[in-house]
């Protein structure tokens, strides 16, 4: 069996759309989905992917919630999940990462999502498919998760790179969304928006351009990479980006800065410490 691609193009999805093995999952706003969506696509509320508890609402949901997600998506049927949204693929990427955590790598993200699909005037419908829940299938793969404790134990590991997908203002600490501002020591900043091509229907930028961006920041495939943002929404997109470029070992930190920045015991770094 060939490895499932991290990304699929609109053309590839169009070609496979009528296959019984394909299940499109749309994480767009409900009103947008209700108006029109890809034929056969089911809607998934983004909050079902989140633990939702403060101070770190982006943490993984409890096991029962993951089992329910598996049942709703019909994972026990062995279908190929293709995720999309209408906001740059951040939500779709979070589903992709979550499915990998659940030991289900037969999933992809539609590059450009509904923005590309609609702008290319591809097939749409307002008809909502019938859904039948199946038995849950969850086999946790912790190799794609970074916890606070894991990061603390690897802060001085030169074989591990930390990537902060937030804005530069959040990274340097001039914009504060937690009790403390700044970033995890040693992390490099890669604003997730800088990897999206706004002139090409919100697809990822060309591979060569992305590789140049990553190499300039010393984010190298030979190292393990850990991505984070505020709630592991934007950094799930960065996780997806790195996996799509063939990076072999990438972890996402679901606690992200909402956990790290609200914990008085974790070390932080600010702009003054980066550029004294």
Which of 100, 125, 141 terminates a domain? The answer is 141
Which of 114, 141, 168 terminates a domain? The answer is 141
CATH classification at residue 264? 3.40.250.10
What confidence score (pLDDT) does residue 191 get?
Answer: 98
**Residues 157 and 129 both lie in one domain:** no
Closest CA to 142 of 60, 258, 260: 60
Q: CA-CA distance, 64 to 116, in Å (whole number)?
A: 34
Active-site choice (79, 84, 107, 229): 229
Pairing of strands 107-110, 160-164: unpaired
CA distances to 5, 218, 226, 261, 273 from 270, rounded to whole Å, are 37, 20, 19, 12, 5
Look up 229 and say whether it is catalytic. Answer: yes
Q: Are 232 and 58 in contact (CB under 8 A)?
A: yes
Query: b/e map of 80-100 (b: 16 or more CB within 10 Å)?
Result: bbbbbbbbbbbbbbbbbbbbb
Q: Which structural domain, as residue segments, surrounds residue 24?
A: 7-141
33 occurs within a structural domain: yes
Q: CA-CA distance, 70 to 177, in Å (whole number)?
A: 32
What confidence score (pLDDT) does residue 76 get?
Answer: 93
Residue 142: partners with Cβ closer than 8 Å, 6 or more residues away: 101
**Residues 125 and 251 both lie in one domain:** no
**Residues 132 and 18 both lie in one domain:** yes
167 occurs within a structural domain: yes
2 occurs within a structural domain: no
**Residues 150 and 240 both lie in one domain:** yes
- Predicted confidence pLDDT, tens digits, the chain (276 residues): 368 999 999 999 999 999 999 999 999 999 999 999 999 999 999 999 999 899 999 999 999 999 999 999 999 999 999 999 999 999 999 999 999 999 999 999 999 999 999 999 999 999 999 888 889 989 999 999 999 999 999 999 999 999 999 999 999 999 999 999 999 999 999 999 999 999 999 999 999 999 999 999 999 999 999 999 999 999 999 999 999 999 999 999 999 999 999 999 999 998 755 544
**Residues 161 and 131 both lie in one domain:** no
What confidence score (pLDDT) does residue 275 get?
Answer: 46
Which of 83, 108, 141 terminates a domain? The answer is 141
Phi and psi angles of residue 19, each rounded to the nearest 5 degrees, phi first: -75, 135
1 occurs within a structural domain: no
**Residues 179 and 191 both lie in one domain:** yes
153 occurs within a structural domain: yes
**Residues 43 and 100 both lie in one domain:** yes
């Amino acid at each position: 069996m060939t490895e499932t691609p991290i990304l699929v193009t609109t053309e590839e999805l169009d070609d496979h759309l009528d296959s019984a093995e394909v299940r499109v999952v749309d994480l767009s706003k409900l009103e947008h989905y209700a108006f029109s969506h890809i034929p056969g696509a089911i809607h998934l509320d983004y909050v079902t992917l989140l633990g939702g508890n403060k101070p770190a609402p982006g943490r993984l949901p409890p096991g029962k919630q993951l089992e329910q997600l598996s049942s709703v998506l019909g994972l026990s049927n062995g279908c190929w999940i293709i995720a999309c949204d209408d906001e740059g693929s951040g939500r779709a990427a979070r589903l992709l990462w979550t499915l990998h955590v659940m030991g289900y790598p037969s999933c992809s993200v539609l590059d450009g999502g509904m923005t590309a699909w609609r702008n290319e005037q591809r097939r749409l419908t307002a008809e909502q498919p019938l859904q039948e829940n199946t038995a849950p299938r969850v086999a946790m793969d912790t190799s794609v998760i970074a916890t606070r404790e894991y990061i603390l134990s690897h802060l001085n590991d030169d074989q591990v790179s930390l990537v902060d997908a937030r804005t530069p203002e959040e990274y340097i600490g001039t914009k504060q969304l937690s009790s403390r501002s700044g970033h995890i020591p040693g992390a490099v900043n890669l604003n997730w928006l800088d990897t999206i091509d706004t002139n090409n229907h919100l697809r990822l930028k060309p591979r060569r351009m992305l590789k140049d961006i990553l190499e300039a920041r010393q984010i190298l495939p030979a190292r393990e990479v850990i991505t984070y943002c505020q709630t592991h929404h934007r950094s799930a997109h960065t996780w997806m980006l790195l996996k799509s470029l063939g990076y072999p070992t990438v972890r996402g930190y679901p606690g992200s800065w909402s956990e790290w920045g609200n914990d008085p015991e974790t070390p932080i770094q600010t702009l003054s410490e980066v550029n004294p």
